[in-house]
């Protein structure tokens, strides 16, 4: 279970040292901490489960979170998130959506819990504006990487010949290419 962590000068200093908050006044950071007090998650604590309803996001102040998805062969590690990273942003942009991954604290981790109401009610706070700008940049980079991966698969996707018959056998790439073609058109 998560334990509250009292906001102090150390938490303000951690926020102030993050790139996204480099121009944000300390008073705005303090106001953010009042609205989203730090919470400590113990090592091994599962914070989000894949498939659960999303209602919050987390800004990591210290520690590390690990994201995994359950696949047919077991869990697959997607990556880690550390200080200055926001995890689970779907919870603030699409509350009620389903979590796409399980997120666990790999060691004791301190986070700010970001609720959709915070983003609305404190929209005038420069710290919230900085987080929104950071999130938009992060999402744009993810979309670009996804588009590049799709283009790579699209360009590489030709069905391989079945050695036994010589016929073109469907491959995962060919199936994906066909699926994308159905959505976006093209060959």
pLDDT digits (tens, 9 = 90+) for 56-94: 999 999 999 999 998 888 888 989 999 999 999 989 888
Give 107-144 pLDDT, tens digit per residue.
999 999 999 998 888 889 999 999 999 999 888 888 88
Q: Which pLDDT belongs to residue 19? A: 94
Burial, 29: exposed, middle or buried (Cβ in 10 Å; 0-12, 13-18, 19+)?
buried
Instruction: Return phi, psi of residue 53, to 5°.
Output: -75, 135
Per-state percent for the chain, helix, strand, coil, to nearest 5? 40, 25, 35
What is the pLDDT, as a whole number, of residue 173?
A: 63
Tell me the domain boundaries of the chain: 3-122, 157-184
Residues in Cβ contact with 128 at an 8 Å cutoff, skipping those fewer than 6 apart: 32, 118, 119, 122
Region 152-175: mean pLDDT is 61
Q: What pLDDT does residue 170 have?
A: 57
Q: Provide the whole-model pTM.
A: 0.76
Which class would CATH give 3-122? mainly beta
List CB contacts of 154: < 8 A, sequence separation 6 or more.
Answer: 177, 180
């Amino acid at each position: 279970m998560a334990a509250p962590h009292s906001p102090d000068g150390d938490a303000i200093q951690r926020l102030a040292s993050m790139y996204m908050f480099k121009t944000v006044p300390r008073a705005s950071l303090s106001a953010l901490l009042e609205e989203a007090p730090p919470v400590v998650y113990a090592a091994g604590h599962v914070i989000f489960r894949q498939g659960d309803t999303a209602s919050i996001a987390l800004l990591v102040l210290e520690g590390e979170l690990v994201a995994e998805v359950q696949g047919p062969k077991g869990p697959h590690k997607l990556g880690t998130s550390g200080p200055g990273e926001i995890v689970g942003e779907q919870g603030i942009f699409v509350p009620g959506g389903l979590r796409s991954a399980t997120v666990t604290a790999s060691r004791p981790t301190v986070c700010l819990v970001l609720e959709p109401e915070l983003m609305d009610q404190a929209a005038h706070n420069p710290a919230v504006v900085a987080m929104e700008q950071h999130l938009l940049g992060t999402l744009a980079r993810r979309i670009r990487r996804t588009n590049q991966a799709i283009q790579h698969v699209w360009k590489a996707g030709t069905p391989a010949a079945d050695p036994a018959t010589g016929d073109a056998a469907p491959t995962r790439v060919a199936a994906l290419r066909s699926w994308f073609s159905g959505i976006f058109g093209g060959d």
